[in-house]
Amino acid sequence: MTEPLTAPVPTAATDLTLWRGAARVLLQNWRGDSTIPSQGLYPHQWSWDSAFIAIGLRHLSVRRAQRELETLTLAQWGDGRIPHIVFNPAVPLGAYFPSPDFWRSSRAGAALGAPRHIETSGIVQPPVHALATWLVHRFDPALSRRRGFLERLRPRLAAWHDYLTIPRDLGGGGLTAVVHPWEAGMDNSPAWDAPLSRVEPAPAGSYRRADLDHGASAERPTDLDYGRYVRLAADYRDAGYRDTAPRAFAVEDPCVNALLIASEHALADITAELGGDRSPHERRAARLTDALVARLWSPEEGMFLSRDLGPDQLLPARSAAGLVPLLVPGLPAHVVDTLVRTAEGESFGLGTLPLVPSYDLRDPAFDPSRYWRGPAWFNVNWLLERGLRLHGRTDEADALRESVLRAASASGFAEYVDPYTGAARGTRAFGWTAALGLDLLAARRSGQRLPAPREGAAPSPAATRPGARERTAA
Q: What is the pLDDT of residues 162-204, one digit of tens each?
A: 999 999 999 999 999 999 999 999 999 999 999 999 999 999 8
100: helix, coil or strand? helix
- Strand pairing report for 85-86 and 303-304: unpaired
Helices (H), 345-425: 378-390, 394-410
Beta strands of 279-404 (E only): which ranges? 297-298, 303-304, 307-308, 313-314, 376-377
How far is Cα 212 from Cα 215, in angstroms, rounded to an integer? 5
Q: What residues are annotated to the active site?
A: 187, 415
Instruction: With cut-offs at 50, 70 and 90, classify the pLDDT of residue 7.
Output: very low
Task: Specify the pLDDT at position 469.
Answer: 31
- If you average pLDDT over residues 131-149, what whole number do you get? 98
Q: How confident is the model at residue 421 (pLDDT cuts 50, 70, 90)?
A: very high
Across the chain, mean pLDDT equals 92
Has residue 11 got a pLDDT over 90? no
CA 461, distance to chain mean position in Å, is: 22
Could you tell me what percent of the chain has a pLDDT over 90? 87
At 455 the pLDDT is: 29
pLDDT tens, position by position, 209-237: 888 888 788 888 899 999 999 999 999 99
First-to-final CA distance of the chain? 21
Choose among 362, 259, 365: nearest CA to 304: 259
Beta-bridged to residue 45, according to DSSP, are 86
Q: Rounded mean pLDDT of 55-76?
A: 98
pTM for the whole structure: 0.92
Residue 193: exposure state from Cβ atoms within 10 A (0-12, 13-18, ≥19): middle
Secondary structure element (H or E) that encloses residue 230, with its range: helix 223-238
Q: What is the arithmetic mean of pLDDT over 72-81?
A: 98
pLDDT tens digits, one per residue of 319-359: 999 999 999 999 999 999 999 999 999 999 999 999 999 99
The packing angle between helices 279-296 and 254-273, to 10°, is: 170
Tens digits of per-residue pLDDT, 361-395? 999 999 999 999 999 999 999 999 999 999 999 99
| C-alpha–C-alpha distance, residues 474 and 470, integer Å | 13
pLDDT of residue 140 exceeding 90: yes
Band (pLDDT 50/70/90 cuts) for residue 29 is: very high
Q: What's the CA gap between 467 and 448, in Å, rounded?
A: 10
Q: What is the pLDDT of residues 449-467, one digit of tens each?
A: 433 332 232 332 222 233 3
